[in-house]
């Protein structure tokens, strides 16, 4: 693979101020975030008011990181006069593009404002003709439907020169992204209005599994070279509603993986996979639809699964005894059993009755929780050392801005 001079954008999610620092300091080429309205994560991420939008756009731009603002909900007639000032404001603040779903907004913006537009994945763009149509009406980049195979992406790339963006990591939708009406029917919260309640993550009885609609998260570390060959412009990480440590870890890993692949070097897939598992996974990962994978449903647990550690061998006198296959740390978070609904943080750790900070093997620690039984599997849901590394990334801003100055010195 000849990757010389190949420019690939790594696009990271931002939900709050700390998340922005995490993304930028971890090596993102671009970030995307939203305002308090007209934003598909308006009910899940913190997002930004007008003052914060200005400050955070400036923060990213000073560090040569592109900013894309999500204006990616459907817009009603009586809201047009509200959304257009928002778009003009973020344009004036220096945002590089807006991410849009509503066709009417696309038409109004192209005729009245001067800002690039990216077609949201919620437009369900699946084929070459739809890409060409979007380009003809003023779209600068298409965020392809998450449900597309790599073969179809290559075909589109070979037949158009528009920028193409796809998701490489994060949550998948049980339906075509953004087209599911279940949340609205279930509780009056529309996915196309930024308020999806994720009923697909809920428990349902009467079937073969408890969570038949819950998908695994997407992970593509092991197919990065394939994605590069497909001609994708921007590699997008999902997760504006996730914590800043998640943004720091995932962005850093994909930054390194992309750079290694571009240099035709081997990617330490297993090492990166283990780190990604620890920061967040739902029953492991899948490759999504890139290879028409049938292994996308998690089925037994809709929340963070963590990393398998071992099993409970005893629980007595407010002490849980486990046999740990991997080293645990004081302040690690744990969950027990298949459901993972019982959890705790380790406050003390003993090996062979000697207090330690880190160890594996036959361990015990204090606990006053219920519903933990001998034989329960133990998962690490928070790794203290990984959180420390994420904190270092978030606080590692080495920003230097070169100034072009003319200096006149006078002598008397």
pLDDT for 339-380, tens place per residue? Answer: 777 899 999 999 988 999 999 999 999 999 999 999 999 999
Residue 105, domain CATH: 3.20.20.70
Q: What is the residue range of 189's domain?
A: 9-299
**Co-location of 269 and 320 in the same domain:** no
What was the pLDDT predicted at 197?
Answer: 73
**Co-location of 284 and 324 in the same domain:** no
Specify the number of domains making up the chain. 2
User: Please, which pLDDT band fits residue 40 given cuts at 50, 70 and 90?
Assistant: confident
Q: Is residue 4 part of a domain?
A: no
- CA atoms 348, 353, 359, 361: torsion sign: negative
**Co-location of 211 and 88 in the same domain:** yes
Task: Please tell me the pTM assigned to this model.
Answer: 0.92
**Co-location of 293 and 314 in the same domain:** no
Print burial letters for 129-162: b (CB count within 10 Å at least 16), e (below 16).
Answer: ebbeebbeeebebbbbbbbbebebbeebbeeeeb
User: Please, which pLDDT band fits residue 272 given cuts at 50, 70 and 90?
Assistant: very high
User: Please, which pLDDT band fits residue 4 given cuts at 50, 70 and 90?
Assistant: very low
Rounded CA-CA distance 347/344 in Å is 9
**Co-location of 327 and 209 in the same domain:** no
Q: Is residue 108 part of a domain?
A: yes
**Co-location of 242 and 368 in the same domain:** no
Q: Is residue 37 part of a domain?
A: yes
The residues facing 328 across adjacent strands are 359
Over 90: is that where the pLDDT of 297 sits?
A: no
- What are 154's two structure tokens? 């290559």
**Co-location of 231 and 341 in the same domain:** no
**Co-location of 92 and 156 in the same domain:** yes
Q: Work out the average pLDDT over 167-174.
A: 92
What was the pLDDT predicted at 321?
Answer: 97
CA end-to-end span of the chain: 64
User: Considering the chain, what percentage of its residues have pLDDT values greater than 70?
Assistant: 94
What was the pLDDT predicted at 309?
Answer: 96
More confident residue, 220 or 37: 220
Residue 344, domain CATH: 2.40.30.10
What was the pLDDT predicted at 43?
Answer: 66
What was the pLDDT predicted at 52?
Answer: 94
**Co-location of 362 and 294 in the same domain:** no
**Co-location of 172 and 294 in the same domain:** yes
């Amino acid at each position: 693979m000849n990757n010389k001079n190949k420019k690939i954008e790594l696009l990271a999610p931002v939900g709050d101020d700390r998340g922005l620092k995490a993304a930028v300091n971890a090596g993102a080429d671009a970030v995307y975030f939203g305002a308090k309205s007209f934003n598909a994560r308006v009910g899940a991420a913190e997002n930004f008011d007008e003052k914060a939008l200005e400050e955070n756009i400036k923060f990213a731009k000073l560090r040569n990181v592109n900013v894309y603002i999500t204006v990616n909900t459907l817009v009603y007639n009586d809201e047009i006069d509200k959304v257009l000032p928002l778009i003009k404001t973020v344009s004036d603040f220096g945002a590089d593009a807006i991410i849009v779903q509503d066709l009417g907004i696309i038409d109004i913006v192209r005729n009245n404002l001067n800002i690039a537009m990216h077609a949201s994945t919620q437009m369900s763009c699946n084929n070459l003709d739809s890409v060409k149509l979007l380009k003809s009406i003023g779209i600068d980049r298409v965020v392809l439907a998450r449900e597309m195979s790599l073969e179809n992406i290559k075909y589109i790339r070979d037949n158009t020169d528009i920028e193409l963006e796809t998701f490489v990591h994060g949550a998948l939708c049980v339906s075509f992204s953004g087209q599911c009406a279940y949340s609205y029917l279930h509780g009056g919260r529309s996915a196309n209005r930024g308020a999806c309640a994720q009923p697909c993550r809920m428990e349902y009885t009467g079937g073969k599994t408890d969570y038949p609609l819950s998908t695994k998260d997407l992970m593509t570390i092991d197919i990065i070279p394939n994605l590069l060959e497909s001609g994708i412009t921007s590699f997008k990480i999902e997760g504006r509603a996730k914590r800043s440590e998640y943004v720091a870890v995932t962005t850093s890993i994909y930054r390194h993986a992309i750079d290694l692949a571009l240099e035709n070097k081997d990617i330490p897939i297993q090492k990166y996979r283990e780190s990604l598992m620890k920061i967040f996974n739902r029953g492991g990962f899948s490759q999504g639809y890139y290879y028409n994978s049938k292994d996308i449903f998690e089925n037994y647990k809709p929340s963070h699964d963590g990393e398998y550690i071992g099993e409970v061998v005893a629980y007595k006198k407010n002490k849980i005894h486990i046999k740990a296959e991997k080293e645990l740390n004081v302040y690690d978070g744990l969950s027990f059993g298949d459901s993972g609904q019982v959890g705790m943080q380790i406050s003390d750790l003993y090996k062979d009755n000697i207090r330690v900070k880190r160890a594996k093997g036959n361990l015990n620690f204090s606990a006053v929780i219920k519903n933990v039984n001998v034989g329960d599997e133990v998962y690490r849901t928070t790794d203290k050392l990984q959180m420390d590394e994420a904190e270092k990334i978030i606080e590692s801003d080495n920003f230097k801005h070169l100034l072009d100055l003319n200096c006149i010195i006078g002598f008397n």
